[in-house]
Each structure stands twice: as C-alpha cells, then as structure tokens.
Amino acid sequence: MNTEHHTYNKLSAHPDRFEQRHIGPRTLDIEAMIAQTKASSLSALIDEIVPEAIRRRRALNLPEAKSEFEVLEQLKGIASQNKVYKSLIGQGYFSCYTPPVIQRNILENPGWYTQYTPYQAEISQGRLEALVNYQTVITNLTGLPLANSSLLDEGTAAAEAMGMCWSLGRQKGTRFIVDSACHPQTIAVLQTRAEPLDIEIVLSSREDMLAQAEFAQAGSFGVILQYPDTHGITDENMGELIDQAHAHKLKVVVASDLLALTLLTPPGELGETGADIVVGSSQRFGVPFGAGGPHAAFMSTHEANKRVMPGRIIGLSVDSNGEKAYRLALQTREQHIRRDKATSNICTAQVLLAVMAGMYAVYHGADGLKAIASRVKRLTATLEQTLVQGGTQVIEGQRFDTLVVTQAGNGQNLAEIYEAALEAEINLRKLQVNGQLALGISLDETCGFDLVTKLSQLFLGQSNLVTLSDSFDFEGVLKRQSTYLDHPSFKLYQCEHELLRYMHRLQAKDLSLTHSMIPLGSCTMKLNATAEMIAVTWPEFAHIHPFAPLSQRQGYAELYSLLEGWLEEITGFSAVSLQPNAGSQGEYAGLLVIRAYHLSRGDAHRKVCLIPTSAHGTNPASAVMAGFKVVPVKCDERGDIDLIDLEEKSIKHADNLGALMITYPSTHGVFEEGVVQACAIVHAHGGQVYMDGANMNAQVGLCRPGDIGADVCHLNLHKTFCIPHGGGGPGMGPIGVVAHLAPFLPTHPEEAVGGDMHIEGEQSQAIGPVSAAPFGSPSILPISFAYISMMGADGLKKATEIAILNANYMASKLSGHYDILYTGNNGRVAHEFILDCRGFKASADISVDDIAKRLMDYGFHAPTMSWPVIGTLMVEPTESESKEELDRFCEAMIAIREEINAIESGKLDREDNPMRYAPHTVEIMTADEWTHSYTRSQAAYPLKWIKSRKFWPSVGRVDNAYGDRNLVCTCPPMEDYEA
Amino acid sequence: MSNPSDLLYTEDHEWALVEGDTVTVGITNHAQDSLGDVVFVELPEIDQELGNGDALGVVESVKAVSDLYSPCDGVVIEVNERLNDEPELINSDPYGDGWIIKVKISDPAAVSHLMDSEAYDQFVQAES
Ligand SMILES: Cc1ncc(COP(=O)(O)O)c(C=O)c1O
C-alpha cells in the first residue's frame, strides 16, 4: 500500500471511533473538568502527577486503532484458524451444552457480568442467592456439608486442598501422597505448590498405597485420590483407602466429577466418615471448554474445617428487619484480613462461571441431571462392550464416561486409529500406560449413539452391529443411595419462562454497571464494552479443548502471540506468561519465578520478601505460599514507602534478601517519587522487585514497570484490560518479566510454554504450572485483545490520562467536604483517592459502614471500604465515567456529608437518622407504620434526580455477626420460605 | 465502662485476675470494642504450658482477627467452654462471663510485670 493510499484511507475512515465510546467525558466536559482542578491543561495536570524521572515520552508501538466492526472482523479471521473438532479427550474437561437461556441471560448479560465481588450484600442478593444454589449443588453432590463459592481451576483447587490438609496438621507434615491416576496437570500443579513449602509429593498407585503401607510412612499428612480417576476408573476400594488413611491420621482429599456424582456414591459418604475435602471442576455443568477456562472449580469439606477453607463462602444471615439475607461469611479466614497467616491467597475467583453451573443444575434438576448422567454412562458402556467384543483391550473397572484402550483389536494399530479419528474430526486422548501408547475416550452429554457407532468403526476397522447396553448406573458400593437437590430451587424453574423470570428477579436485586458507576478503589470498574464481549461465546473460541492438538488451535496461538507482544510493549518487559488466572496467581507465579532465579544462582537462602504495610492482602499471602518470609516495611506519614526503613531492612537482610513487592501507583493512590530509588535499593542488596500491577491502568502509555525498575509485574486483565469482573471472577493475571527471568516462567506438562520457550539445550529451571491449563482462561482473552486493538496507542494513553483527570476532578469537588488522605507532591492524587471518614465516629456516631449503606439509598455502590486504611473510602472513577455520572456521585457524597453535619449539629437525631437505618427497602418505605423522626422522602429520595433512577436495595442492613455465629451456606430449608 | 481496678493489664489489651495461684485471663473492654462483634474464640488445651507472651488462642470478629497472648508463665487449668457457643459474651461481659482461660502460676512474681488499671488507662489513651 503506498503512502498516498494510506493517507486517503485514513482521511475517509468511518467517523465513529471506539475511544469516544470507552471514555466517558466529552471534549467540552474535559475542559471544564481541567478548570475545576485548576490545571492549565490535561498534559500539565499529568506532568504534575507522574514523576518526570519515570515518564516515557514515546508513543507505544501498537497497531493503529480499529473500530468495533473492524476488530470483530479481525477476531473472526483469528477464530477461523481454530478448528472445532469433537473432543473426547476428557482429562477434566468435557463438552457440554450451555442452555441457551443461560448463555444469553447470564453469560452474555452485563446485569450479571459487570459487578465486583459481593462485598455490599444489600445490593448483591441476586448473585449471592445464585451462589448459594451453587454451593448447595456442590455440598449435595459431594456429600460434604460446607462448600465455597468457587476456586480458580481443578488443579489449584487440589493444591489449595493440600494446603488445607497441611494447615489442619499444623504445618508439620512433609509428605503428601498423590494418586498416580490423578489428572497429569493436577499432579503438576500440586508439585509446583509443594516444592517451596518443602512438601514432598509422593506418587503412588492406589493399590500400592495399601500394599506398601504408604500412609504409615513418617511425615505423611494427607493424600489425594481421583474418583473417577484419569483413566475413568471408579475404585471400589475408596472406602477402604479413606479409612486406612484416617487410621494413620492423614487427611483425605478426593478429586471428583459432578456429573458422575449424580450416580456415584459421593466421597463424603465413602468409608466410615467420608473424605475430608472434595475438589473438582464444575465446567461440564454448562460451561464451554474455552481452551482451558474460565471455569469454576469447587471445594467442599466438613464444618469442623471451616476456618481453614480457602475462598469465599456465602452464608445466610438476617437483615435489620429480621428477613433472611445472604452475605460473605467468615471473612476473617481470607488474605485481606489474615495476610501472611491466611491459608490461601485467593481473591478473585470464578463467580460468573459458578453462577452458570448452579443455574445448569436449577435448569435440569436432580432428575434431569441423573438422566443426562445415565445416558452418558450407558453410551460409554455400549462403546466398551462393542470394543471389547471386537478384541480391544481396555483398562478394566467400573467406569462412568471414560474408556482407556491399551490394545486395539482386529489387528488395528492405536497410532493409526488416533490419526483416523483426527481425519474424522474427532480428538482422542493420547497417553502412556505402562510405557505404551494408549488412547482415552471420554463421552459427554453432547455425544450420541451415532458417535459411538463411528468410534466402534474407527477402532475395529469395520462396521459392527452396535447394540445399546443396559448399564445405566453403578453397581454395588459405588451406586449412590442418597438423594440430592431436593430443595425447591431445583424443582421450580424447569420450564423456561419460570427460569427466565427467576434469573431476572435475581438480577434485579444486584446493582451493576448497568445502573450506575461502581467507584471501587483498586478494582477499576471501567467499561466492559459489548464489542469486546462478543467473541467469547463464538464456537471457535468456546468449543476448543485445552489439550486439543496445536494444529486446531492456530487462532489461539496467534491471539496469544499478538497479545503477549502488546503487553510486553505496554509494560516494557521482554516476556509474558498468560498462565495465571487472577492477580493473586500472578503474584504467586512471579514470586516463584524470582525464587527459581535465586535458586539457579545458588542463592537458596534469599527468602526474605519486603512488603510495605499498605500492600494488598494477597501480597503477603502469596509470598508465604511461594516460600518467602515476609518482612513488613513501614509507610511514612504521607503514606509513601518509608525509604529509610526500606534501606535499613534491605541492609539488615542483605544476605537473604529475595524480593520487594510494591504497588505502583501506590495502594494509597499516589505516584510515589521514590519508586526508582526503592527499586535501586533492593537491587543493590541482591533482591528482585515484584510490582503488583493492580494499578497499571494509571501507567499505560505514561510509564512502564520495566523502565521503573521492576523485574516482574502482573496485570489484572479484569481491571486495566476490560475483562468484566463477573461478580467476583473470572479474571486473568498474566505476568511480564525482564529478560533474565524469562527462562523461569511457568511451564506445563501438556505443552511447551513459558520457560520452556526461553531455554535451549540446557535443562529447564523454570517453575511448573500454576494453573491447570497452559494459558489460564483463553476464552476471555479476546476481550483484552479487542480493547487494546480498538484503543490503539493514543487511545490507551488518553484512557490513562482521563482516569487520572476523573479522579482529580472528583477529589477537587469533594475536598471541601471530606479530607483526602494522601496526595503526591503537588497535592494531586493519581487515578484514585482516599476519603477520610474516621472523624465521624466521634462527631456523629457515624461509621464508614453507615456511609456505604446510605450510598445505596442514593443508588450507588460504595467505594472500597476500610482498605487500604481502616475507616476510609477509596474512590476510583476510571476513565469510562462521564462528567454527569461523576457529578451525580459527588452530589450524593456531599449530601451525605450534609446529613452528617445535621447529626453533628443536632438537627438529625444521633440514633434515629437516615444513615443509621440505611439502606431503606421498599417494604420499610411502604409499610403502614413509619416510626422514624425523619421523613420517608428524606429516606428514599434525598436528591431530586433519584426518583427517576431509583435502585431499591432488596434487603435491609445485613447482620454479619449473626451469620458468622450461625453458619448456613446452603439453600435454607423449605419452612423458611413458607414462613 | 471503666477498667476494673482489681485487675492487672497487658499491652495486648488483656486483663488478669490474680486469686492465689490462679490467674483468670480475658480481653479488655477496649479490645472487644475495637474488634467488634466477636464470632469465634479459639481456646488452648487444658494442661498446655504457656510462657509469658506465648500465643494461646485467637479471637475473631466479623472483620478482624486478634491473637491472644499469655500474660504470664503458667499452665492452663480451665478454659471458658461457654465461648464455643456464645462468643458474644466477650462483647457483652468482657470482665465477667467473657473470661477466656484460667492458668496456674507457680511463682507470684509471674504477674509482677503487668500494669494496674491506672497505668492501663494511660496506655490506652496514649495509643489512640
Ligand atoms: C492492589 C491489589 N493487589 C492484588 C489484587 C488481587 O488481584 P485478584 O483479585 O485478581 O487476585 C487486588 C485485587 O483486588 C488489588 O487491588
């Protein structure tokens, strides 16, 4: 294309630019907002805020911005290089049908996918109830009474379970026994997790565990068994194994399969007391492969273990009117409170996918699920019977859906059968059994009799008469006796109208970005544009098995490579790993990479990790998981890292200094001037610098972690790069690293990735996998891809600048009413800021909780509460909010400040005032009796415009203490509904 | 609520009631107030030997976790079992029914380092 053509092309381009859709304020607004901040121009404002020393003045080298329609074309092209075959690979991932009513109304619905984690329970009852349905499914099917509301994937769930066993044994154990018939990726993730904790993974077959008295070996603290195992076998000795392990005081984890459990004796009912912990993936409950994710992993356990259970647990409680209400239970287990003493670092989980899996069970009900499972079992039995009759040898035992063929019949050859299946667009699993090639076949709900006939033909080399087997169910001890999903939630909504209305009733209880801004500091609730979402459910992205042959994943390969390149350019790093599934996993992976680097240099003792006290809870929790010892670094009175303390501690620990973890701009919302110096201090004493990239959205296009001096940084793609939060997940936390760390990036047993790509000839010193799938959650990567592609270098930089402008505009509007806690040198904030609310306790008996709940009456979600400073609110507007929306929020905050004034001056009662009784529900407002000293309109419509945009919280203030003292985390019994 | 003058106090906001060789231990009103609604108390085992400052358990509220430390050398002779079902006693009656453990001391000097109520009042004031 010649330059003239190029110019004409540009001049005659379609006038619509995505950047203008993504960025909230209009050009004229921007001028007014700059005036409000008293800066002379946008660039002058940015110059005041971003330290010159780290400023990068060159434009990012990214492709020219595309329009929404162009990017969809581009993605279509990429998608077309993926080939959708029938994948019968199994290994923890099974094809399934996503009920269209769920796909359109949940997965593709911003009313479900744009929220954050349900911290504000009163405006989150919809997804909280949906998650309780999910937890009920998990507890019922696994046979254990307590479930969490999802973990990141089956591999990490197994690793979390190992960590739990270790904690339950007071961290004294050294040996964790692993069923050698667990899925290979699960074993690999366990190994990664075990190594820095000095836990030895002992692989053993289940027969050997009993025969060799493995459980009796000193130091053993737990065992994981897979049921059905990776070869499809459901072991009849499970009860015996569990009892033997318990006799030796080992904790028992069982990895299982939800669909199989509709027919199979649940792990909670095996042996004398059942397994201690059950884990697995809920993917096949209506969630597409997505080349590995996102999917919700599950975990259940006994009540007694509730305090070491990782992840979020939804519990039932009551509200201020005595009505039932849900909220996050037992939060003191979690990293944000327990920090380096937490059992897990998990933060963002897989809420949207858990909601889908729960709805899949609501849609089918117990009978429906059982019918699906029976059919799968019957077709598998049919296939087995046909193949065995034809002389094929298979691994024997009772099975559900998976058959492993070790020897072909009829003089056929397995390698050739594999190829012939590929010809027929069928993927089988290749695996080694006793050093020989074997082929695995896993059937699922999308497989029918035709496919079984086709498979028989492929394996036997001729058309055989296939007769349908009579085996619908397990036999003997394996046959499930207990019932499940008896609750009305799983009976009432099986006609589509009922389900549609149920989902919409729930949705209506949740405040999402479809209502108003969600100004959660550190969470970056920016626009999740529809154009970015569209490709996620395209079959070419959704229906790809993570371990399908590479040749069928060429589109994904291109997507990864382009996205990695762009992220490298944006961060200034030389390599990126897309494997970690959340920010927390990025931290953990990045610290393991640092650890591997020190180990490679013979510096095994470099185990001290310096972490400022202002750090997010995941930082210290991740550091401990990665084998580091946390040494806190103070913050000075301005909230910045205390460089003197940092230097002292770096010197003190110089011999053992492993890493510093910093967040930039700081968690206090300030571009600290001292950041380059901080990195230099740590480097001078032999440490590496980990940057928490949660605030990367304030850096893109202005400065780069790699240039500042960081060695590793994670990016929360669900913050800066537009993946929606899904109500608490999915997320993606890829890490970027400098060149000398690239050889250590996470690898994967199924595919050459990470460190394996950066080292030639030598033996790899890279870390093992941190996720079950090699590229984490690929099907949501098109979202970030589309965002970067549509914004281009200029648009991304503009987004950062406007994010900073929006924050400074709000700070300036609110500063006469509230104190802004920390600011930079010029009195400016970065992209977020902290409102100090601590004084109101004494002056008006008003807590930060009261303000958060009162904001609901004004139609807003509260800012981040009591983090990073207790008793404060942290506001992050993002670039995607218009001036009108910012003004509305400021007006609400100012009106609330006036209410506090009125309490202070005695105009409003100290006890009986609208803040203490917030939020106000419709029931309270329309009750025949009104007993408050303030008026109804003061309660519900404190500002004029609220009438036309009213959002009604569905419950009154939730009693957290009641719920934690009386933990109920499954659907409440029927009587509660009738009452 | 003022801090009873017949008790001794630690800088970790715990109180100790010395009666002969038995010391009853709990957390102060100030401590329960800053923790908020207590939902769980982890108690030590009977006969556990404690050194001064050893971790002996945990008090959890809905929003915070606080470690408990032994105010003196001693052996656990009794724990307040009622807290298993009624952790809220710590909020409603921190100096009475909300007691946490009793330890036996072998030497009266084991408690000589603790503050009296006046010193503790001043300590709390200085901290805030
Ligand atoms: C500063 C900071 N670090 C780390 C995290 C953890 O990220 P994720 O929730 O993706 O695990 C967060 C998320 O809230 C954060 O704000």
Chain A stretch 865-904, residues whose beta carbon is closer than 8 A to a beta carbon of chain B: 866
Nearest-by-CA chain B residue for A865 = B63
Assign A1 a pLDDT band (cuts: 50, 70, 90). low
Chain B residues within an 8 Å CB radius of A338: 65
A453 at B interface, C-beta within 8 A: no
Measured at the CA of B116, the angle between CA B115 and CA B117, to 5 degrees, comes to 120
Q: Is A179 helix (H, G, I), strand (E, B) or coil?
A: strand
> CA-CA distances (angstroms) from residue B100 to A976, B69, B86, B112?
35, 11, 12, 21
Complex ipTM, two decimals? Answer: 0.83
Q: How far is B112 from chain A (nearest CA, A)?
A: 32
Residue B22 lies in a domain: yes
Number of domains in chain B: 1
Chain B residues within an 8 Å CB radius of A965: 39, 87-88
CA of A560 to the centre of ligand 1 (A): 23
Residues 6 or more apart in contact with residue B95 via CB below 8 angstroms = B4, B7, B15, B26, B28, B29
A25 close to ligand 1 (CB < 6 Angstrom): no
A731 close to ligand 1 (CB < 6 Angstrom): yes
Give A830-879 pLDDT, tens digit per residue: 999 999 999 999 999 999 999 999 999 999 999 999 999 999 999 999 99
Distance CA A168, CA A170 (A): 5
Cβ <8 Å between B39 and A961: yes
- Average pLDDT in chain A: 96
Q: Locate the DSSP E strands across A80-135.
A: 86-87
Nearest-by-CA chain A residue for B37 = A961
Write down the pLDDT at residue A976: 61
Give B39-48 pLDDT, tens digit per residue: 999 999 999 9
A156 close to ligand 1 (CB < 6 Angstrom): no
Q: How far is B103 from chain A (nearest CA, A)?
A: 24
Chain A stretch 915-974, residues whose beta carbon is closer than 8 A to a beta carbon of chain B: 960-961, 964-965
Chain A stretch 388-427, residues whose beta carbon is closer than 8 A to a beta carbon of chain B: none
A583 close to ligand 1 (CB < 6 Angstrom): yes
Give B18-73 pLDDT, tens digit per residue: 999 999 999 999 999 989 999 999 999 999 999 999 999 999 998 888 999 999 99
State the burial class of residue A29 (Cβ atoms within 10 Å of its Cβ: 0-12, 13-18, 19+).
middle
Distance CA A785, CA A529 (A): 12
Q: Are A24 and A513 in contact (CB under 8 A)?
A: no
Residue B125 lies in a domain: no
Cβ <8 Å between B65 and A337: yes
Residues 6 or more apart in contact with residue A814 via CB below 8 angstroms = A820, A835, A890, A893, A894
Residue B23 lies in a domain: yes
Assign A586 a pLDDT band (cuts: 50, 70, 90). very high
Distance CA A731, CA A781 (A): 10
Write down the pLDDT at residue A756: 86
Residues 6 or more apart in contact with residue B109 via CB below 8 angstroms = none
* H-type alpha helices, A80-124: 100-102, 110-113
Q: Are B4 and B58 in contact (CB under 8 A)?
A: no
Residue B123 lies in a domain: no
Average pLDDT over residues A504-527: 98
Q: Are A936 and A925 in contact (CB under 8 A)?
A: yes
| Site from B62, B88, B91 to mutate, A interface, most A CB atoms within 10 angstroms | B62
Write down the pLDDT at residue A979: 44
Give A939-956 pLDDT, tens digit per residue: 999 999 999 999 999 999
Q: Whose CA is nearest to atom 10 of ligand 1?
A: A583
Chain A residues within an 8 Å CB radius of B63: 331-332, 337, 866, 960
> What are phi and psi for residue A53, nearest 5 degrees?
-60, -25
Chain B residues within an 8 Å CB radius of A343: none
Write down the pLDDT at residue A974: 67
Q: Are A246 and A254 in contact (CB under 8 A)?
A: no
Give A589-604 pLDDT, tens digit per residue: 999 999 999 999 999 9
CA of A732 to the centre of ligand 1 (A): 11
Measured at the CA of B87, the angle between CA B81 and CA B90, to 5 degrees, comes to 100
Assign A975 a pLDDT band (cuts: 50, 70, 90). low
Q: Locate the DSSP E strands across A667-709.
A: 688-692
Cβ <8 Å between B39 and A331: no
Residue of A400, A732, A434, A402 whose CA lies nearest to A563: A732
Cβ <8 Å between A961 and B60: no
Residue B74 lies in a domain: yes
Cβ <8 Å between A332 and B62: yes
Residue B17 lies in a domain: yes
CA of A586 to the centre of ligand 1 (A): 10
CA of A347 to the centre of ligand 1 (A): 7
Write down the pLDDT at residue B97: 97
Distance CA A196, CA A202 (A): 15
Write down the pLDDT at residue A910: 97
Cβ <8 Å between B37 and A961: yes
Average pLDDT over residues A544-561: 98
Q: Which atom of ligand 1 is nearest to the CA of A718?
A: 10
Assign A762 a pLDDT band (cuts: 50, 70, 90). low
Mark residue A292 as left, alpha or beta (left: phi above 0; alpha: psi -120 to 50; beta: remaining). Answer: left
CATH number at residue B36: 2.40.50.100
A149 close to ligand 1 (CB < 6 Angstrom): no
Assign A337 a pLDDT band (cuts: 50, 70, 90). confident
Residue of A656, A669, A667, A648 whose CA lies nearest to A630: A656
% chain A with pLDDT above 90: 94
Q: How far is B22 from chain A (nearest CA, A)?
A: 29
HEC secondary structure over chain B: CCCCCCCEECCCCEEEEEECCEEEEEECHHHHHHHCCEEEEECCCCCCEECCCCEEEEEEECCCEEEEECCCCEEEEEECCHHHHCCCHHHHCCCCCCCCEEEECCCHHHHCCCECHHHHHHHHHHHC
Q: Determine the residue of A151, A344, A584, A875 to mutate for testing ligand 1's pocket, defined as the one with the most ligand atoms within 8 A of the Cβ atom.
A: A584
Q: Which residues pair with A442 in a beta bridge?
A: A402
Q: Residue B46 belongs to what domain range?
A: 8-107
A663 close to ligand 1 (CB < 6 Angstrom): yes
Q: Are A421 and A250 in contact (CB under 8 A)?
A: no
Q: How far is CA A904 from the centre of its chain?
A: 43
A841 at B interface, C-beta within 8 A: no
Cβ <8 Å between A961 and B63: no
Cβ <8 Å between B63 and A337: yes
Written as six digits, the tokens of A744 are 């250590």
Residue B35 lies in a domain: yes
Cβ <8 Å between A338 and B87: no
Give B70-99 pLDDT, tens digit per residue: 999 999 999 999 999 999 999 999 999 999
Give A765-795 pLDDT, tens digit per residue: 999 999 999 999 999 999 999 999 999 999 9
CA of A583 to the centre of ligand 1 (A): 5
CA of A529 to the centre of ligand 1 (A): 22
Cβ <8 Å between B62 and A338: no
* H-type alpha helices, A154-197: 154-168, 184-194
Cβ <8 Å between B88 and A961: yes
Instruction: Give the helix, strand, coil percentages of chain A, each rounded to 5.
Output: 45, 15, 40
Q: How far is A150 from chain B (nearest CA, A)?
A: 21
Classify each residue of B95-114 as buried b or exposed e, where b means 16 or more C-beta atoms within 10 Å of its C-beta: beebbbbbbebeeeebbeeb
Write down the pLDDT at residue A2: 73
A622 close to ligand 1 (CB < 6 Angstrom): no
A864 close to ligand 1 (CB < 6 Angstrom): no
Q: Are A346 and A157 in contact (CB under 8 A)?
A: no
Give A251-265 pLDDT, tens digit per residue: 999 999 999 999 999
Q: Is A25 helix (H, G, I), strand (E, B) or coil?
A: coil
Q: How far is B4 from chain A (nearest CA, A)?
A: 24
Write down the pLDDT at residue A764: 80
Cβ <8 Å between A965 and B61: no
Residue B68 lies in a domain: yes
Residue of A330, A332, A965 lying closest to B87 (CB–CB): A965
A338 at B interface, C-beta within 8 A: yes
- For residue A20, the tally of other CB atoms under 10 A from its CB is 13
